Amino acid sequence: MMNRTLTGIDASAKRATFATETGTEDVDYDYIHIIPPQRAPNFVRESGLHWADRWTDQGWVEVDMQTLRHLRYPEIFALGDVTGVPKGKTAASVKWQVPVIEDHIVAGIEGREGSAVYDGYTYCPMITRIGHAMLVEFDYHNNLVPSFPGIIAPLEELWISWLLKEVALKATYNAMLCGRA
């Protein structure tokens, strides 16, 4: 459902209320997963670094999707939530984006071209109920790229996936925010 904003949830009735361009709409659901509106912070949207021809209202930084290098200002790179790529606005994505940018910056300092490429890796943990989750990892082409093949099936509800998300990944994310990971 596009162009709708969630305004309320009645969990006991399993009904969500959305604001639409023409008013409101109530929708019954069995399972609901809502992505909040996303856009770059004002200082990025107003910096002149954003895409001029797409994602204009979000203000994502205009970058090459493999090198994360700005297309008009080659000395600028972007990662994480401000990056103008079709996927990769997660902490897990940043973990894979940093080495690519590092490779290109170091190569530039050394007078050579970087070779690292970002393939769009992103990770979407989906908690399906308390104690169960799915660890869905994919790339730009929506290919599944599981970190633990043969151990954690990405499309199965597992307690180990929930434990990984709630314990290990939360600690890793917090460490990243503090510059320790």
Contact of 112 with 90, CB cutoff 8 Å: no
Which of the four pLDDT bands, split at 50, 70 and 90, describes residue 56? low
- Per DSSP, what are the bridge partners of residue 77? 69
Q: How far apart are CA 61 and CA 82, in angstroms?
A: 6
pTM: 0.77
- Region 143-168: mean pLDDT is 88
Residue-range domain boundaries for the chain: 1-37, 42-109, 122-177
Q: Mean pLDDT lowest for which of 34-38, 106-110, 114-118, 134-138?
A: 34-38
pLDDT at 181: 64
- Region 111-117: mean pLDDT is 97
Q: Mean pLDDT lowest for which of 73-87, 94-108, 165-179?
A: 165-179
The residue among 127, 129, 101, 98 whose CA lies nearest residue 114 is 101
Residue 114 predicted with pLDDT over 80? yes
- Tokens read off for 165: 């998300």
The residue among 95, 81, 96 whose CA lies nearest residue 180 is 95
Q: How far apart are CA 130 and CA 134, in angstroms?
A: 12
Q: How far apart are CA 133 and CA 176, in angstroms?
A: 22
Q: Is the dihedral of CA 160, 139, 60, 111 positive or negative?
A: positive
Residue 48 predicted with pLDDT over 70? yes
Q: How far apart are CA 143 and CA 80, in angstroms?
A: 20
